[in-house]
Structure 1
Amino acid sequence: MSSPTDRRFPAARRTAPDAPGKTAATCKVTVCRGCCCGDPRKVPGVDHAGQIARLREAVGPAAAVRASDCLDVCDQANVMVVQPSPSGRAAGGRPVWLGLVNDDDALTDIATWIRAGGPGLAEPPGVLDLYAFTVSRRVREALED
């Protein structure tokens, strides 16, 4: 569990139910597939293309999953960034950078958290502390919308 001062996982505030008949806004997940992430020479034994397909299936309508060129944190391959939904952002959620995401158990934990609301709305499983890292402001600002 994150501490109140842990910038990687700001505390989830609350989960508000969606209005009946409305589609909930979604989180965005950016999966790095640049020079190192997605490269079987850098991270052997991982089905890199299949990883994105499995993540998309696992999160369903709770998130849009997109692949990106290099996110410039090659030492953390494979990298994913989970951006909060608009309601998660309003509740204090910020993008969460996850590195070394190279196994299906990590994907399952990430997908479970996203389906529960993601940044700002749901507490991440404690094991995600092992994957979370902080990037430089330059890298972070290049990705944020």
Structure 2
Amino acid sequence: MARRPRENAAAAPAPVTVTVCRGCCCGATAKHPGIDHAGQLARLREGVGGAGKVRAVDCLDACGHSNVVVVSPSAEGRRAGGRPVWLGWVLADDMIDEVAEWVRAGGPGVVPAPGTLDLQAFTVSRRIREGLPD
């Protein structure tokens, strides 16, 4: 059977992707009382808007850095050498706003992270990095 070509064969370029951990520790009121986790996710989605994609996942296995957010570069950012940036302890609204601003500006590989986010960045093992869902 012959395959029909798609109407829009040109795939849209991959946007900046923000992955928000919402598993056992991240997003848990028991670990972070007083934090509106659902509100933070909504704020991030609203702040990023059409500049990127925000997704919540169950667990990124970096619980010692809870609340974890991973900002992955767009196709353009990856071509420029950008790699995913793992941010830990993203608990305050101003941090959420800075992530959204960075995504709107182009994200990893396109523009440097705001200096305050550098303080949140951490390195994970290859095993954990490779387990990040697509």
2:88 to 99, 107, 114: 99
Q: Distance in 2 between matches of 1:108 and 1:53?
A: 11
1:120 maps to what in 2?
A: 109
Q: Secondary structure at the match of 1:105?
A: helix
Q: Is 1:46 the equivalent of 2:39?
A: no
1:133 maps to what in 2?
A: 122
Q: Is 1:37 the equivalent of 2:26?
A: yes
Unaligned runs of at least 5 residues, structure 2:
1-11
Answer whether contact 1:59 1:111 (CA < 8 A) is retained: yes
Normalising by structure 2, we get a TM-score of: 0.88
Q: Secondary structure at the match of 2:131?
A: helix
Answer whether contact 1:40 1:46 (CA < 8 A) is retained: yes
Bigger RCO (CA 8 Å, 6+ sep)? 1
1:69 maps to what in 2?
A: 58
1:83 maps to what in 2?
A: 72
Normalising by structure 1, we get a TM-score of: 0.81
**Inter-CA distance 73–91: structure 2 relative to 1 (3 Å threshold):** same
Q: Distance in 2 between matches of 1:144 and 1:41?
A: 25
Answer whether contact 1:82 1:95 (CA < 8 A) is retained: yes
Structural RMSD (CA): 1.3
How many residues were matched structurally?
Answer: 123
Q: Distance in 2 between matches of 1:56 and 1:137?
A: 28
Q: Secondary structure at the match of 1:111?
A: helix
Answer whether contact 1:26 1:61 (CA < 8 A) is retained: no
Runs of 4+ aligned structure 1 residues displaced above 4 Å come to none
Unaligned runs of at least 5 residues, structure 1:
1-22
Q: Secondary structure at the match of 2:20?
A: strand
Answer whether contact 1:94 1:119 (CA < 8 A) is retained: yes
2:8 maps to what in 1?
A: none
Q: Distance in 2 between matches of 1:134 and 1:33?
A: 19
